[in-house]
Structure 1
Amino acid sequence: ESDKDRRWVETRAQPKPDSQSSPLTGTAPAQVDAGDPLALFDYDRKVKDSQASTAEPIGQEITLDGPDGSLGVPAPIQGTIIQFSVEVGDEIRIGQELLIMEAMKMEHVIKSEISGRVVKLNVLDGDVIVEGHPLLYVQEVEGLGAQEQIDDSIDLDFVRPDLQEVYDRHAYTLDENRPDAVAKRTGRGYRMPRENIAQLVDEGTFKEYGPLVVARQHDRLTDEELRKNTPADGLVSGIGSVNGKYFSPDRSRAMVLSYDYTVLAGTQGGRNHYKQDRMFELAERFKIPLVFFTEGGGGRPGDDYTGPRVAFDTHTFTQFSQLSGWVPLVGVTNGRCFAGNTALLACCDVIIATEGSTIAMGGPAMVESGGLGVYTPEELGPMSFQVPNGVVDILVKDEVEAVEVAKKYLSYFQGPIDEWEVNDQRKLRHIVPENRMRLYNMREIIETIADVGSVLEIREKFGVGVITSFIRIEGKPMGVIANNPHHIAGAIDSDGADKGARFIQLCDAFDIPILSLMDCPGMMVGPDVESTALVRHCVRMFNAGANLTTPMFLNVVRKAYGLGVQAMCGASSFQGFFTVAWPTAEFAGMAIEGAVKLGYRKELEAIEDAEERLAEYQRRVDDAYNNAKAVNASAGYGIDDVIDPADTRSWIVMGLNSIPATPVRTEKKYPYIDTW
């Protein structure tokens, strides 16, 4: 249909020929042939050429009065007539379809609001009309009533073709339609990403973002090949509920991302970076905790690019790092994790890895291309050294356990739970031997104080002189730092200080109170430990503890000596909300034997008889130990009480119940959580 075949029906004003009509005057706008790409510009030129004439249009009021007392049916919108459904002489009823109009590429069905007989059609197919113009005239006829209601009920289970197309497109992403990928994955003893996500989130709550995205490799693959071989561009991402049976919806919401190793080895393509940018931005805006399964091979070299480019203009890593300290970041890996995937994993607050994992900043190809030798992937970052060196926080057997640990870890940041069970606290009276030289198990103390089954230890095999764990007390989450007497008697070394300081910072960033269980003979000393930069490392715990805003509860189990114990309590016994000691506790500025030797050197040198000198030395040592006993040392104050160990938990409960509610945070407490 060409422009010359159309009419422009104007009712409110009649503009001068060749001048542009305006909707503001009630007239239809000028119409051009939409099929001609230059028609708009030709019209613009004609209008400008004819603007010498500026005569004002003469207005004309709309009327709906028709011939022989009939009534006009007004156009409810401005648009084009594309089809009539009635003819002159037809009897029509209220609700009956009269015609169809098109406006802004949408078709509008115009129905009658009166019953009667059509006496005149006032417009033709193709006419462009304004709102209010009479479309046709109807002579009202009494007794016709409304149009009979036709039973047009539909089968609500019927799937229309357009919806079926959507289902079919999503089907490419489902495991049941990827048998080869699933077989290869399960053949290695691993699970598919969607299996892990299904275990992590509460049933029916996960909504996936970007499942229909494919890899940006259109130069080498057809659309069908991309859908089949690169579903979701190798990154499953979405939002769901985790631990919903314990927490309200606002506390259980969580974002989940998982690289898919069955898609291009879990590499980082342009579009899965694009998806991550979207998800990370949502996590930041709406403060959503994030769980990230990071198995994959790093950057992907095979995507389509046009023209030259630099290789590090990806915003993904910046966005993810900016989430640190704002929302909990839980990293989980299995199998091979290299390069960019590793970088994202390492930015997480916690790294949970399976025994079959290998984690490295560079994969075999990168190592070989650097002239550094040839290695298998499993030789580059095995758990045999990535666990004891502190890279991995929690080592688990397999993906099933990894998911369960991730859920447990996240729960401490989701808040208190209502149901809990307490151990018999009387057991605490007997864990530490009366013989001050005899070892005991600090972890047994932690397990006994905590709610049953609530302990999750972090970095167990690294910095082993300091124990860091999450626990619950009457359902409320807490962090624990404790000395481990089985490693250098609980003294602080560089690794232990790093471990303790980072854990303190992590707890403080998310307002989790901290319990410090102290049995520390001081800082570790000697040239070997000094060579590890102990001077700098050990005071990290001073700075972390002294600047806490979350409450710290202090309990001296046995030794409280010198700078070492100060590192365990924020540098002062009164930094905590309370400081209590068990009967087995003892206090000194340094090792008591050394203090006697240094403090009474002149007196001992004045005794010429060796046996007498030794006896005097031992007497002074015994006196010093007696004075160091908690029940005696507390006479000078410095701690709040010496307590029955069985009362430790009740002190903690008092502390938790006495601190004010945590304010809703609108900004970070820390710029980021130290990755080390």
Structure 2
Amino acid sequence: MSWQPEVDELQWRKQLAQQMGGAEKVQRHKDAGKLTVRERIEAIADPGSFQEIGALAGSGQYDADGKIAGLRPSNLVIGHAQIDARPVVLMGDDFTVRGGANDGAVGDKLVHAERMAGDLRLPVVRLVDGTGGGGSVRNIETKGHTLLPEMRVWQHVVENMSLVPVVSLALGSVAGMGAARVAASHYSVMVKGLSQLFNAGPPIVAHIGQQVSKNELGGSQIHTRNGVVDDEVDTEAEAFARARRFLSYLPTSVFELPPRGAAPAASADQQWLLAAIPRDARSVYKIRPIVQTLVDPDSFMELGGKWGRALATGLARIDGWPVAVLASDPYHYGGGWDRATSDKLIRFVDLAQVFHLPVVNLVDVAGFQIGVDAEKSGVMRSGVRALAAIYQTTVPWCSIIVRRAYGVAAAGHQHMGRHNWRYAWPSANWGSLPIEGGLDVAYKAEIEAAQDPGRKRAEIEQRLRRLTSPFRSAEAFVIEDIIDPRETRARLLDFVHLAARLRQPGQQAFGIRP
């Protein structure tokens, strides 16, 4: 006698799981403009590559003879798949079953998926569309007792951040632990109007007297500007594309090296870089076209562009080699570091260090933000933590000083205790303080004693400016090389090929930061 009846039941159970929360709830979900969890998995994974684990998990309903009559499946779908022919662990919340609440996942599926990623050394992609671990307060009556909050999965979430690339896509209203899972990522995305993220949703917030909509409380326009989430897109399809692109720059785990892509047939025109920096020190310029000119065409993927805006950060390729790019943006506080910029730098530098990405840093730093608001924000605390992050790096680093490098913040343009590549453009200037700011302090007595203080101040400034030429510093070997801006990409090509030899796989450890 064969086991065909059991095999038939197996297939029947799998068919029940495919129905998710049932036709009515699935339709309601789709009417809200959202894909189902299984449609999302099909959209982000290579065709036919998803291998589900735990498809039978759920709450079965049985007839009087003990035969299965129905199944409410677990609302977490997990498994492994291929994305661009590289293996990943995929997990997705099913909002059609109990609103995606994590306690509806049945058993330890969440723990299993995170542990699988760490132990198999595979990237994690989370499709998050659910709430915290406690679910509804109805559970109190169902269980007959309350639950003490705990997150057994969190050990694996934290460990994975230092082992494998972690990507989280917020694809609905995520709260509590759902929100925490999104934030605990190397890269996170929200969909405009479709995604919201909060500690607690509007009904709970109403109890503290705040009547707000979901978007007013936690829309992407909030969290992509405070640094909780990296990016926002218009559609789920764009979110999947961004996730795939992000992973393409990184190794499968820290025990491998970032893969080299195809070298471009040609690079962008470098000629215009000669006039890219204005002669007027008070004039601003756009940094992103400079970045895009120096790296391989169409390879720059900016991360977190709407927060910490004095610094543009992103991944790119140079001659096919993946690199991490930092670039000062003078449009925001003149490139000076406020607290948000410092925090952004820390997170990005850690990403480069963990995944063995050489760093290219385009420097135009006016120093730390100054003034009453800056001091109240605690910019110095975040600032020195940013310096510590830089001085804990061991990845190869190349700095191009394109204009200013002033103050303590500028001391973080690279790790000064080890060899790094460094070049300056003729437009560069540096010092402990900008002349216009420090002159009035250093020459106060001389200026005040002059018959014409304004004229005296101008004379002193002109005299000092003659001494601030980068060529004077080059004579003293303060700067190693001054280059024609049009030669910068050629120098970066040299850098990435030398740096490729120095990259070492393995897990990183950071010391304490102030």
TM-score relative to the length of structure 2? 0.89
Identity within the alignment, %? 26
Deviations 1:611-662 (A, max 9, x none): xx43332232123223222233222212220111122222222222223343
| Residue 567 of structure 1, aligned match among 401, 406, 412 | 412
Which amino acid in structure 2 is aligned with residue 367 of structure 1?
V
CA displacement at 1:557 relative to structure 2: 0.7
Task: Identify the match of residue 300 of structure 1 among 115, 135, 147.
Answer: 135
Structure 2 Cα separation of the partners of residues 575 and 599 of structure 1: 33
Q: Does 1:209 align with 2:53?
A: yes
Q: 1:637 aligns with which of 454, 472, 477?
A: 477
Q: Is structure 2 residue 2 aligned with structure 1 residue 167?
A: no
Residues 599 and 379 (structure 1), Cα distance of their counterparts in 2 relative to 1, 3 Å cut: closer
Per-residue CA shift, 1:78-129, capped at 9, x if unaligned? xxxxxxxxxxxxxxxxxxxxxxxxxxxx99xxxxxxxxxxxxxxxxxxxxxx
TM-superposed CA distance for 1:312, in Å, is 2.6
Inter-partner Cα distance in structure 1 for 2:156 and 2:60? 22
| Cα displacement (A) at 1:371 | 4.9
1:550-561 equivalences in 2 (<5 Å): 550-561=395-406
C-alpha offsets along residues 525-554 of structure 1, whole Å, 9 cap, x if unaligned? 111211101121211221011111112211
How far does residue 272 in structure 1 lie from its aligned partner after superposition? 4.1
| Structure-2 residue corresponding to 1:598 | 441
SS in 2 for 1:269: helix
Aligned residue for 1:641, secondary structure, equals coil
Displacement after TM superposition at 1:603 (Å): 3.2
| Equivalent in 367, 370, 378 of residue 205 of structure 2 | 367
Distance 1:216 1:325, change over 3 A: farther
Check if 1:389 corresponds to 2:226: yes
Moved more, 537-546 or 421-430: 421-430
Deviations 1:457-490 (A, max 9, x none): 1211111111111111112111111211001111
Distance 1:163 1:420 in 2: 51
In 2, distance between residues paired with 1:620 and 1:598? 12
2:388 aligned partner, one-letter code: N
Note if contact 1:297-1:363 (Cα within 8 Å) is conserved in structure 2. Answer: no
Q: 1:352 to 1:216 in 2, by over 3 A?
A: farther
The alignment partner of 2:58 has SS state of: coil
Q: Does 1:377 align with 2:214?
A: yes
Alpha-carbon distance in 1 for matches of 2:437, 2:151 = 58
Give distance in 1, aligned partners of 2:437 and 2:51: 64
CA distance in 2, matches of 1:225, 1:631: 83
Aligned to 1:413, the other structure's residue is in SS state: coil
Secondary structure of 2:28's match?
A: helix
Q: 1:256 is paired with a residue of what secondary structure?
A: strand
Q: 1:664 to 1:535 in 2, by over 3 A?
A: closer
Determine if contact 1:436/1:584 at 8 Å carries over to the other structure: no
* Amino acid corresponding to residue 259 of structure 2 in structure 1: P
Q: CA deviation at 1:582?
A: 0.8
Q: CA deviation at 1:601?
A: 2.9
CA distance in 2, matches of 1:584, 1:196: 49
Query: Is contact 1:235-1:258 (8 Å) kept?
Result: yes
Q: Cα gap change, 1:590/1:451 in structure 2, threshold over 3 Å: closer, same or farther?
A: same
Q: CA separation in 1, counterparts of 2:67 and 2:338? A: 58
Out of 196, 203, 218, the residue aligned to residue 358 of structure 1 is: 196
Would the aligned equivalents of 2:189 and 2:229 in 1 still touch at CA under 8 Å?
A: yes
* Cα drift, residue 396 of structure 1: 0.8
What is the distance in 2 between the residues matched to 1:216 and 1:647?
68
2:75 equivalent among 216, 231, 234: 234
SS, match of residue 327 in structure 2? strand
Output the CA distance in 2 between the equivalents of 1:437 and 1:591: 12
> What is the rounded CA distance, in whole Å, between the counterparts of 2:423 and 2:278 in structure 1?
19
1:540 is aligned to 2:385: yes
Residue 261 of structure 1: how far off its partner (Å): 0.8
Change (3 A) 1:176 1:526: closer
Q: Give the structure 1 partner of residue 431 of structure 2.
A: 588
Correspondent of 1:616 among 435, 441, 456: 456
Other structure's SS at 1:642 match: coil
**More helix by percentage:** 2
Distance 1:664 1:593, change over 3 A: closer
Query: Any conservation in 2 of the 1:558–1:585 contact (CA below 8 Å)?
Result: yes
Partner of 1:26: none
Partner of 2:492: 652
Cα shift at 1:183 = 2.4
* RMSD value, Cα: 2.9
Cα distance 1:344–1:457, how it changes in 2: closer, same or farther (>3 A)? same
Q: How does 1:72-221 map to 2 (within 5 A)?
A: 162-174=6-18, 179-215=23-59
Q: Secondary structure at the match of 2:403?
A: strand
AA of the residue aligned to 1:268: N
Structure 1 match to 2:249? 412
Name the structure 1 match of 2:254.
none
Looking at structure 2, the residues matched to 382 and 225 of structure 1 have their Cα atoms a distance apart, in angstroms, of: 41
Letter in structure 2 aligned against 1:418:
G
Matches of 2:229 and 2:156 in 1, distance apart?
A: 23
Q: How does 1:375-454 map to 2 (within 5 A)?
A: 375-414=212-251, 415-421=258-264, 422-454=267-299
Unaligned runs of 5+ residues in structure 1 are: 1-105, 108-158, 245-251
Q: 1:456-475, aligned counterparts within 5 Å?
A: 456-475=301-320
Q: Tell me the CA shift for residue 260 of structure 1.
A: 0.9
Superposed CA offset, 1:333-388 (max 9, x none): 122001121121121122211102110011234435x5555544344312232221
Secondary structure of the structure 2 residue equivalent to 1:461: coil
Moved more, 461-470 or 180-189: 180-189
**CA distance in 2: counterparts of 1:500 and 1:601, whole angstroms:** 36
Q: Which amino acid aligns with 1:486?
A: Y
Opposite residue 278 of structure 1, the aligned amino acid is H
CA shift for structure 1 position 174: 2.9
**What letter is aligned with 2:355?**
F
Among 529, 541, 545, the alignment partner of 2:374 is 529
Contact kept in structure 2, 1:470 and 1:479, CA below 8 Å: yes
Shift of 1:182: 3.7
CA distance in 2, matches of 1:528, 1:217: 61
Paired residue secondary structure (1:279):
helix
Distance 1:412 1:178 in 2: 39
Counterpart residue number, 1:332 = 169
Of 415, 421, 435, which aligns to 1:578?
421
Q: Give the residue type in structure 2 aligned to 1:388.
A: R
CA contact (8 A) 1:539 1:567 kept: no
Q: Contact 2:337 / 2:369 at 8 angstroms: preserved in 1?
A: yes
> What is aligned with 2:90?
256
Find the aligned partners of 1:595 and 1:309 in 2 and give their Cα distance.
Answer: 62
Counterpart CA distance in 2 for 1:204 and 1:291 is 17
- The alpha-carbon deviation at position 271 of structure 1 amounts to 4.2
Partner Cα separation in structure 1 for residue 98 and residue 397 of structure 2: 48
Q: Is the 8 A contact 1:354 1:398 kept in 2?
A: yes
In 1, the alpha carbon distance for the partners of 2:320 and 2:106 equals 39
1:550, 1:224 → 2: CA distance? Answer: 57
Q: For 2:309, what is the secondary structure of its paired residue?
A: coil
Q: How many residues align?
A: 498
Alpha-carbon shift at residue 664 of structure 1 (Å) = 3.3
Structure with more contact order per residue of length (Cα contacts < 8 Å, sep ≥ 6): 2
What's the TM-score, normalizing by structure 1? 0.69
What displacement does 1:564 show? 2.5
CA distance in 2, matches of 1:223, 1:671: 58
Alpha-carbon distance in 2 for matches of 1:360, 1:528: 27
Would you say the 8 A contact 1:172–1:178 is kept in 2? no
CA distance in 2, matches of 1:313, 1:497: 32
**1:431-450 residue CA offsets vs partner (Å, 9 max, x unmatched):** 22233332210111111112
Any conservation in 1 of the 2:284–2:331 contact (CA below 8 Å)? Answer: yes
